Structure 1
C-alpha cells in the first residue's frame, strides 16, 4: 500500500477537495487479517485499544510503550492475540506490520512516528491529531452483524457520538434477527438477479412500512368479500320471496351463464400467465356461434372492467413501468380502433371471416404451447426497441381477431429483455384503454347485439380480476399454458372442420 509524498503540489489539490465536503472513503477493514501496531499504552492508548478489540476480537495487535497502564495490562490479558512490548519505539517495530495507531500524547513524537511510517508505506492513525491521520476511527453503532460507522471528517467527535446514541436507541435489537433471516432467505432464492432483488425488496419493504392491522392490510379483500356476500344474500332473498325474480333469472338466455363461467375461468388463466384471455374467449365465442365482430366486441367490452380492476391492482402493487406505458399506449390505441373498424365493417361477411379468425387462434394456440415449452429459456439482455410498432400491431390484431394483445405484446416485451412483472402490469393497465376505445368503435357500428354473452363475460371476468392479479406470481404457468394451448388448438380445429364441412 503506497502513500503519496507529502509535498505542496500534492497537498494543495487535496485541501481544495476537502473544502467541498467530506472526501473520506468509507471502508470496513478486516483487522483480524492484518497485523496492527499500537504505539502508546496510557489513557489514549487504552481508548484506541478498546475500540480495536471491540470491533475485531481476534485482531493481532502489538503494543509498544515505555509505560503501560494497569488498565491496558488488564485488557490485554483477555486477548491472547495481543503482544506487549514495554520499550521505546524504534523503526524496526514496523517490520511485519500492516497498519499503525499512534497514541503517545506527544505531538513531536507522533510526527516522527508518522514520517517513519510513511517511509515504510504504511497507513497511520494519530490520536486527536486529524492532520496527521491517514484514516479516522468513526463512532460505531452495532446490532449483531449490522454495523454503522459515523464520520464528521474529524470536525466534531462529540456530534458523532450524539448521532451514535440516537441510532443505537432507534434501531431495535431484533433487527439482527431480521438480518439473519434475510441471509437464510437469500440462500434459497432462485432465478436471475433481477428476480432475486425483487423478492428481497418485497421482504425488506416491511422494515420501512408502518405496521398495519388486519383490516388495513386486507381492506381490498374485505370490501370485495362484503360486496359478494351482500349480492349473494340479496339474490338468495329475492329468489325465495319474489316469484318475478325467479322468472327473470330462469328466462335469461342460457348463453349468459356459459359466458359468465367462461369469463371467470379465462380471466383467472390470464392473470396466472399474463395472456390468453382474448384468444381463449375468441375460440369459445366462435364455438358458441357468435360472429367474429360480435365476439370481439363482447371480449373487449368485458375487458374494460376486468383490465381496469387488474390494472389498478398492479398499479397499487407498483408493477407498472410508466415510461414503457407512454411509449406503448398511443400506437396501440390507433391500431385497436383501426382493427375494430375493419372487422365491424366486414360483419356482413362473418361466415367468411370466421375461418380466418379460427386459423389465427389455431396459430396462437401453437404459440402458447411453444412458450410453455421454452418458459425457462434465458431472456436476452438486449431490450426490444420498436415498442410503438409492437403496440400498433398488437392493438390491431387484438381488435381485428378478438385477442392476442398479451400473446403478442407481453411475450415480445419479456423475450426482448423487459422485466416480466413490470411488463405484465404495464400491459394490463394499457389494455384497459385499448379495450375502451375498441369497444366504443364496435358498439358504435354494431349496437348491442348478443348482450347476454357480453354481460356474462363482463361479470365473470370482473369477479376473477382481483383474484387473478394476486395469484399472478403464485401459480406455475407452464402447466396452465400447455392446457390452454391444447384447448385453443382443439377448438380452432373444430371450427375450421365445421366450416369445411359446410362448404362440402
Structure 2
C-alpha cells in the first residue's frame, strides 16, 4: 500500500526478494483516520508538512521529547493536531489507525515498528524503507486532480524530475475543466452507458483539438511578411529620403560598431537568462547619448526579427494560448503605439525625459537582482482577470521606456496562476506585433534618426541569436543576472546623477 503525501519518494532501497514494482497505490482519507507522528525534529517537520499539504484536516497526534520551533509554528494553523511532549510508549498507539516514525534513533524505530505490528497498524519509518509498510510518493496537484509518482525506491531524483515535468506540462486551467465536468456529471440522466457516451463526447476535445484558425495556421508567414515589410520599408525610405544614411553606408560611423557589439552581448545575455535585452540596451543607449525616443526606436526595430523567430518557435511547439493572445494583443498594440507616439512627441524635451527613463531602468535593474537571488513575491490567489488592461499598460510602458513588456506582463501572468510555458509563448509572439507597430510609429515620427544605433543592434542581435542558446548552457544564469543588474543600476544611477548635477 502506498500513502501519497506531497514529498519525494523516500524509499531508497528494496529487498532482493521484490521483483518489479509490487506497490499498490491508494489514496487514503487521513482526515477520517487517527494519525500518530513520532518525532518532531527536522525529519518530523518534513513528514508533518507532507501530510498537512495533502490533508489539511488530518487528525494528528505528535509524540516527541523535543519539539522544534518550526513544528510549533506549523501546527498553529491546524487545530486538529495535538502535541504530547514525552517519550514514546506503547500506550500512545491506543486509538490510532496509522503511524509515522520520524526519529533518528534506529533502535527506537525498530522497537516502534515491532509494537505497531503487534497492534495490527501500518507504519512508515523515515529513511528506512526496510522498516516501512508503505512509502511516500512525489505528488503533482491541480486542484482536485492529484497524480502520485513512485519509482519503487529506485531513484527519488527521477521522481522529483517527473514531478517538475508534470507541474510544467499540466495547465492550471485543467482543474477548472475538472470542476465543469463534475457539474455536468450531476445533470446527466439515463443509464450508465448513456452517461459515459455523453462524457466521452464532451471530453473528446482534450485529445482532438478544435480546428486551427487562419492566424494559427499561417502565423509563420504573417511573421515573416511583417518582418520583411518593416525592414524593407525602413531601408527603402532611408535610402531615398535620407542622404545622410547613404553617406553612412559609404563611410560607416564608428558608433555603429559600438552598438553592434552591444547588440551582440545583450542578445547573448537575453538568450542565457530569458530577459533584460530591453533594459540593458536602453541603459547603454542613454549612456551613449541617444535621446530616449531614438533609443526605444532602435531597441524595438532590432527586436522585430528576434521576437518573430521566437514567437514562431513557440507556435511550432504548441506553447501559445490563443485565447489569451486574442485578449492581450489589441490593447497591447494600442498601448505600444500610444507610448511610442508620446515619447516621440517629447523628443525635443529629451533632456528631461532621459532621467525618467533612467529611473525606470534603475528599478528594472533591481528587479533583475531580485530574480537572481530568488527573492519571491507573494503569488496571487486568483488569476488576473483584466488581461486587456495589463496588455495596454505593458505595451505603453515598453514603448515609452524602451522595455519592460516581459517584466510586467509575463511576470504578472505567471504570478496570477497562468502556466509559465504557455504564458511565455503567448507573450513572445505578442511581443513581435508590439515591436513591429511601435517601430513603425517611432520611424514615422522621428524619420530614421540614429540609424547607426538601429543597424548596429539589428546586426549584433541577429549574429548572437543562433548561439545564444549554447551560451545559456555554459554560463551561470545567476552570475549573469547579478552582473547585469548591477551594471544597469550603476549606468542608470549615473544618468540620474548627471541630470541632478546639471540642475545644480
What TM-score, normalized to structure 2? 0.51
Contact 1:339 1:399 in 2 (8 A): yes
Map of 1:257-336 to 2, 5 A cutoff? 257-336=257-336
CA distance in 2, matches of 1:280, 1:318: 30
Per the alignment, in what secondary structure is the counterpart of residue 391 of structure 1? helix
Task: Determine the structure 2 residue equivalent to 1:410.
Answer: 410
CA distance in 2, matches of 1:467, 1:191: 30
Contact 1:397 1:403 in 2 (8 A): yes
Map of 1:375-390 to 2, 5 A cutoff? 382-390=382-390
* Offset at residue 356 of structure 1 (A): 0.8
* Offset at residue 472 of structure 1 (A): 6.7
1:254 is the counterpart of 2:226: no
Specify every segment of 5 or more residues in structure 1 that has no aligned partner in the other structure, as ranges. 1-29, 34-178, 199-246
2:158 to 178, 183, 186: 186
Q: Pick which of 188-197 and 364-373 moved more.
A: 188-197
Change (3 A) 1:31 1:454: closer
Change (3 A) 1:330 1:187: same
Task: Determine the structure 2 residue equivalent to 1:349.
Answer: 349
Q: Deviations over 1:95-140 (max 9, x none)?
A: xxxxxxxxxxxxxxxxxxxxxxxxxxxxxxxxxxxxxxxxxxxxxx
Task: Determine the structure 2 residue equivalent to 1:368.
Answer: 368
* Offset at residue 186 of structure 1 (A): 3.0
Q: Deviations over 1:303-338 (max 9, x none)?
A: 111111222222223332222222211110000000
Task: Determine the structure 1 residue equivalent to 2:465.
Answer: 465
Q: Deviations over 1:35-64 (max 9, x none)?
A: xxxxxxxxxxxxxxxxxxxxxxxxxxxxxx
Map of 1:13-52 to 2, 5 A cutoff? none
CA distance in 2, matches of 1:308, 1:449: 24
* Offset at residue 363 of structure 1 (A): 1.3
Per the alignment, in what secondary structure is the counterpart of residue 382 of structure 1? coil
Q: Deviations over 1:56-93 (max 9, x none)?
A: xxxxxxxxxxxxxxxxxxxxxxxxxxxxxxxxxxxxxx
Per the alignment, in what secondary structure is the counterpart of residue 403 of structure 1? coil
Task: Determine the structure 2 residue equivalent to 1:394.
Answer: 394
CA distance in 1, matches of 2:474, 2:317: 15
Specify every segment of 5 or more residues in structure 2 that has no aligned partner in the other structure, as ranges. 1-21, 26-150, 171-246
Change (3 A) 1:381 1:463: farther
Q: Deviations over 1:247-288 (max 9, x none)?
A: 998942121111112112222222333321111111000000
Per the alignment, in what secondary structure is the counterpart of residue 189 of structure 1? helix
Change (3 A) 1:503 1:414: same
Per the alignment, in what secondary structure is the counterpart of residue 478 of structure 1? helix
Q: Pick which of 340-349 and 257-266 moved more.
A: 257-266
Task: Determine the structure 2 residue equivalent to 1:439.
Answer: 439
Change (3 A) 1:278 1:429: same
* Offset at residue 469 of structure 1 (A): 5.8
CA distance in 1, matches of 2:271, 2:487: 18
CA distance in 2, matches of 1:257, 1:326: 39
Q: Deviations over 1:172-226 (max 9, x none)?
A: xxxxxxx99x98873351764644657xxxxxxxxxxxxxxxxxxxxxxxxxxxx
Task: Determine the structure 2 residue equivalent to 1:5.
Answer: none
CA distance in 2, matches of 1:474, 1:319: 25
* Offset at residue 423 of structure 1 (A): 1.9
CA distance in 1, matches of 2:23, 2:255: 77
Contact 1:297 1:442 in 2 (8 A): yes
Per the alignment, in what secondary structure is the counterpart of residue 290 of structure 1? coil
CA distance in 1, matches of 2:252, 2:23: 81
* Offset at residue 463 of structure 1 (A): 2.3
Change (3 A) 1:289 1:184: same
Contact 1:309 1:466 in 2 (8 A): no
Aligned length: 283
Change (3 A) 1:353 1:386: same
1:428 is the counterpart of 2:428: yes
Change (3 A) 1:425 1:294: same
